[in-house]
Structure 1
Amino acid sequence: MYPVITIPAFNDNYIWLIRHENHCLVVDPGDAVPVQARLDDLGLELDAILITHHHHDHVGGVDALLKRYPKARLYGPKLSPLPDQHGQWLDEGDKIGWHDLTLTVMHVPGHTLGHIAYHGSDMLFCGDTLFSGGCGRMFEGTPDQMHDSLMRLAALPDDTLVYCAHEYTLSNLRFCLAVEPDNLTLQKRIGQISKLRQQGLPSLPTRLGDEREFNVFLRCNEPNVKFSAEKQGMKYLENPVDTFAVLRRWKDTF
């Protein structure tokens, strides 16, 4: 597995840097300043920028980085390419090869319609689709789309490390506890993450197999999760998508 370096940005964003010797890729550089500082500090050459979706806190640093590294390749979603930029615009099943690393593209609409994720070598860079203990808001997509995207991500191998783009974990886990108060794995996880955050350490990456044990947005088939959603929505829920829709609305105001 290639080393992945965490670059904090703004209040709660993470930019991910994948390193190979003195070369690197960066994922979702919303701010060029901390990226450039890390590249200078480590003496790295930027080979490529990978974008998951078009929101400014994920693409705001692209222009400045490409000016500094004009040979760097830009990759992003085919359905929402960045204006005024030349790049390789990607869709479901496309692949990026870099040294011995191959990343496969998944189209995961929901947060935005064009949102993509990159996975390979037991790593998943999923932007704002899947968070530890949570998922992104649906700014452009539907509950059907978002739930389907999450289920496709959840079907990846247990040992996949999830590199999502925000430090939302503790607040997400508190919501999960409101939904599943008797989930012992979740209770233990909150304690673990609380200690990390008290030390100023990131909660990410997270292991996908663990997420399936406590992330309620991946557990809409579970009777306890369905029961809590029905109680919140005050109606019978016929399928996991209906359960997901209630959970997402609940989380929006939690």
Structure 2
Amino acid sequence: MPRQHWEKFDKWHELLDALCAEQGHFDNAGLASIFCTVTNNNGQANYDAALKNLANWRRGVHIPSRKNFLALSKAIELQGRDGLLDRWNKLYGEARKPTGDESAEPSVLSVEKDGDRAIRTAIYSTRWVSGVTMVMVLAVVGAGAYLLNSGYYISAEGIRAIDVEYRKAVSLRVGESSVIHGARSDCGERAPNWEVTQSKLPSLPIGTWSDGGEGKRYSRACGGPTPARGVVFTATQSGLEQFLLYGDSVTINVE
């Protein structure tokens, strides 16, 4: 985004939304995964909370806390563009003023510049690099030990996974996303790729599907956990849909 483009934004949430769209984060699924890694808050509940928060922040419904703002500043690309980080901080400070929260703190925060871009890039690449390389990268951001003992697992291929849960009934607002189910292959085998998974999903008028990453879900047929690819639904318009997905009943209500 050239400087003359981002300088036209005078509201923080509008700048956030534009940067997210520019960087390909249209449904928040990938950004929520990065955000969870930055904050060291792993697991399905934290991932779902990140999805909801990101949707609210991008719409201007809420302004993130100081802690979440700093984490978000590392999760998205801000470095390398003259003045962008300063404007990002300035607009956030202005957005915080009406709430009166933390009045004793400076209204404009200075986000650490050195290394943030490298950290964000390293975090994003953990979904694809080899297992040994991924552990080394996570060590750089101080999260390796936590991930190895949390609800995440590291596969032989080095894919960082989020546990996938089946949700029988989901209620969302337009713009919000949630993991609905998980697509699996034969018991114990690696989950199908996104192209195969997407081709078997129903087309719904109230929203779109996206890749939630490779994880594990419980399977009655397999008698326990098995690799699965998370299926994320993003609400785009109000309505109610009821359908079967992988043999299970699903109801999605969009307000």
Larger Rg: 2
Name the structure where strand makes up a greater proportion of residues: 1
TM-score between both structures, scaled by the size of structure 2: 0.29
Higher relative contact order (CA 8 A, sep 6+): 2
TM-score between both structures, scaled by the size of structure 1: 0.29
